Amino acid sequence: MRNPTGRAVALLGSGMLLLASCSDESGFLGPQTPEGCVSGGRSYAGEVAGGTWTRNASPHVLEDSVVVVGSLEIEPGTLVCGMPGSSLTADLVAIGTADAPIVFTAADPAGWSGLRGSGTLRHARIENTVIAIFGSMLVEDVDIIRSSGVAVSGDNTLRNVAIDSACAGGGNCAAVSTPQYASTVLEDVTIRNSGGMGIVVGRRSGLVIDDVTIEGSAGVGLFVLFEIAGSGSLTMAGPVRITGGHSYPVQVHGSAAAQLLSDPANELTGNALDTLVILEAVGLGGPHVIRKELPWHVRACHPYAYTDLNLLGTITVQAGASLTIDRVNANCKWNIDLRAEGTAAEPAIIHGDGVQMHSRVVSADTARIRHAILHDVVIRADAAPIVFEDVRTIDASLDLFAAGSRVDGLHSTGSFERPWITAADPDAPAAVTLGAGTSMQRAHVAQARRDGVLINGADVTISGCTSTGNVRHGIQVTDGAPVIRDCNLFANDGMGVSNAGTGSVDAVQNWWGDAGGPLGPSGDGFEGAVQFVPFLTAPAPFACGPGCTSPGADSGFVLQGAPRR
């Protein structure tokens, strides 16, 4: 159990490393002081000459911060004991053997401050430190056990290294950290039970991963701080497995996420918060598939406030999976080939926090969003058509401007709104906007903050719909001569159909909320050139989108499985 007053912190944003010691409630980070450290041997303090520390002269006791001038060779089987606050800075040639490892440990229950410098460390064990290794070293066949702070930091190459119980003080500490402008290579490395994060990579730094396992970290398993693509590098030379953690498996930027997603051998599930957290999406590329087991949370579309994000591949949200995108700025617009392949039992979920998502041509086939829940997002088909099938929207808008786009099964409540867009704003989006050559059927549209449906183009058809309870009109026409059939248009604050264009709207065979049609006492009415006779004297029955059971009825639908915020 940790001492609540203990603390170990590594701050990497500025490239600086701050360290403080921490102990458990017994005041000791590990087992009892080795008997070999109690008496005999040699003691060192301050600046000492290089040379060789032998096994026979053990223990070599560090009384204070020891700086070795010249190279220091340490023989196999040698014991080095550190007093509280002591450290060893040297150009090391410390090469043990499997049968006679070199041991660096604490000579006192308070622990010691670890190794600094450069060189080679092979077949060794480092115990009970504040920070085990800080510098630029080749570290091979080494066990690092119990450190109150970071276990390894700097420009280091680790091969066949096991790190256990680093970051006893928790917080922003990481078992392995790569400060700004540094580079770390990890080959066959296991990190277990970190009290903080597993690995942190600073801005403008590099990390090579080749067969790395991170288990049971209290914080994020892998945290990569690249601001934008090109400011650092992540190279996946082998798989990474992150499991058993108490937080997210990774928090990375787009280019690093693309690296992690490129190899199916990477395992990022089995943690308390199994979500791929993408700090900003530049460099994400594609194609990518979002799986139910690992939802995505993109926390910024671009680090620059007014720059569109162009994704160069298809992103498909599978059944039961979710994609959450934080807007961060007022003009967060994705140009993306987005697909959703949900099922009635397990819809795909897209939560946008006010993000605008524009279609772009990536593949030859038409994009489909099927059995999906769309929340607080605008999805706009402009560069390429999109087909929406059995979709539920909540405070979202669908803008269909690419010919061939269509809606077939929709249950919509509310529409997209931002603080700078009000219902009185002429640019306020309708719940559904239909451009030239588009269509909609089996749609229930209710409670839009402006018009339920806006038609702006020729060759538009609507059939089997309900548009009700909207702040303005059920259907607003600004251009074209649409055909509207078998729809229920009632209880809107404005007209059932408002035609502000020059063409004539064919709106026969519709229910207007009154047996007497649009001119009946309770009829929604119309304005402009609208053909409405004959009209229906009772609501038109139809099967609409998911959660919609009857014309005008709200299903009481609740957004389930919403991505973590």
258 phi, psi to nearest 5 deg: -60, -40
pLDDT in tens, 522-550: 999 999 999 999 999 999 986 565 555 44
Residue 299, in any domain of the structure: no
Whole-number percent of the chain with pLDDT over 90: 65
Residue 437, in any domain of the structure: yes
The pLDDT of residue 338 is 86
CA atoms within 13 A on the CB side of 366: 15
CATH of the domain at 87: 2.160.20
| Structural domain count of the chain | 2
Return d(Cα 61, Cα 80) in angstroms, integer: 6
Q: Does position 282 have pLDDT exceeding 70, yes or no? A: yes
Residue found by looking up tokens 């489909």 in the block: 368
Return d(Cα 198, Cα 172) in angstroms, integer: 10
Q: Does position 5 have pLDDT exceeding 70, yes or no? A: no
Q: Does position 7 have pLDDT exceeding 70, yes or no? A: no
pLDDT class of 34 with cuts at 50, 70, 90: low
pLDDT class of 43 with cuts at 50, 70, 90: very high
Return d(Cα 249, Cα 120) in angstroms, integer: 31
Residue that wins the pLDDT comparison between 312 and 504: 504
Range in 48-52, 82-86, 167-171, 465-469 with the lowest mean pLDDT: 167-171
Q: Average per-residue pLDDT in the chain?
A: 84
Whole-number percent of the chain with pLDDT over 70: 81
- Last residue of one domain, picked from the residues 132, 147, 162: 147
The pair of structure tokens assigned to 551 is: 């014309």
Nearest to 298 by CA among 564, 1, 5, 20: 564
Q: How large is the average pLDDT for residues 114-143?
A: 97
With contact defined as beta carbons under 8 Å apart, do 206 and 184 qualify?
A: yes
The pLDDT of residue 227 is 54
Residue that wins the pLDDT comparison between 39 and 183: 183
pLDDT class of 28 with cuts at 50, 70, 90: very low
pLDDT class of 17 with cuts at 50, 70, 90: very low
For CA atoms 281, 283, 285, 291, give the dihedral sign: negative
Return d(Cα 547, Cα 556) in angstroms, integer: 8
Q: How large is the average pLDDT for residues 50-78?
A: 96
pLDDT class of 32 with cuts at 50, 70, 90: very low
Q: How large is the average pLDDT for residues 188-203?
A: 95
Residue 547, in any domain of the structure: yes
What SS3 state is found at 519?
helix
For residue 465, CA distances in Å to 41, 445, 487 come to 89, 8, 4
The pair of structure tokens assigned to 481 is: 């001569």
- Last residue of one domain, picked from the residues 128, 147, 166: 147
Please report which helix (H) or strand (E) contains residue 258, including its range. Answer: helix 254-261
What SS3 state is found at 259?
helix
pLDDT in tens, 177-186: 998 889 999 9
The pTM is what? Answer: 0.84
Q: Does position 421 have pLDDT exceeding 50, yes or no? A: yes
Pairing of strands 206-215, 102-106: unpaired
Return d(Cα 43, Cα 57) in angstroms, integer: 10
Range in 421-435, 443-457, 516-530 with the lowest mean pLDDT: 421-435
Long-range contacts for 4-8 (Cβ within 8 Å, ≥24 apart)? 6/148, 6/168, 6/169, 7/169, 7/171, 8/130, 8/147, 8/148, 8/149, 8/150, 8/167, 8/168, 8/169, 8/170, 8/171, 8/173, 8/195, 8/196
Most confident of 21-30, 32-41, 257-266: 257-266
Residue that wins the pLDDT comparison between 130 and 29: 130
pLDDT in tens, 217-252: 999 999 987 654 455 678 899 999 999 999 999 999
Residue that wins the pLDDT comparison between 106 and 110: 106
Contacts of 2 (CB under 8 A, 6+ apart): 22, 24, 25, 168, 169, 170, 195
Q: How large is the average pLDDT for residues 286-306?
A: 79
Return d(Cα 156, Cα 184) in angstroms, integer: 5
Range in 163-177, 375-389, 406-420 with the lowest mean pLDDT: 406-420
Residue 295, in any domain of the structure: no
Q: How large is the average pLDDT for residues 364-377?
A: 86
Tally Cβ neighbours within 10 Å of residue 514: 17
Give bridge partners of residue 465 from the DSSP assignment. 443, 487
Nearest to 492 by CA among 535, 528, 446, 527: 446
Q: How large is the average pLDDT for residues 44-60?
A: 96
The pair of structure tokens assigned to 509 is: 């065979």
The pLDDT of residue 428 is 63
If you compute the radius of gyration of the chain from its CA atoms, what whole number of angstroms results? 32
Question: What is the amino acid identity at position 235?
Answer: T
pLDDT class of 382 with cuts at 50, 70, 90: confident
Q: Does position 257 have pLDDT exceeding 50, yes or no? A: yes
With contact defined as beta carbons under 8 Å apart, do 417 and 428 qualify?
A: yes
Residue 86, in any domain of the structure: yes
Beta strands in 111-154 (DSSP E): 115-129, 133-147, 152-154
- Last residue of one domain, picked from the residues 123, 147, 171: 147
Q: How large is the average pLDDT for residues 160-173?
A: 92
Q: Does position 10 have pLDDT exceeding 70, yes or no? A: no
The pLDDT of residue 22 is 33
Return d(Cα 58, Cα 475) in angstroms, integer: 88
> Please, where are the H alpha helices in 126-253?
none
Residue 53, in any domain of the structure: yes
Q: Does position 439 have pLDDT exceeding 60, yes or no? A: yes
Buried b (16+ CB within 10 A) or exposed e, 396-416: bbbbbbbeebbbbbbbbbbbb
Residue 125, in any domain of the structure: yes
The pLDDT of residue 177 is 94
Beta strands in 173-307 (DSSP E): 174-178, 183-192, 197-201, 206-215, 222-224, 233-236, 240-243, 250-252, 276-278, 288-290, 296-298
The pLDDT of residue 422 is 54
The pLDDT of residue 12 is 30
Domain of residue 494, residue span: 429-559
Residue 165, in any domain of the structure: no
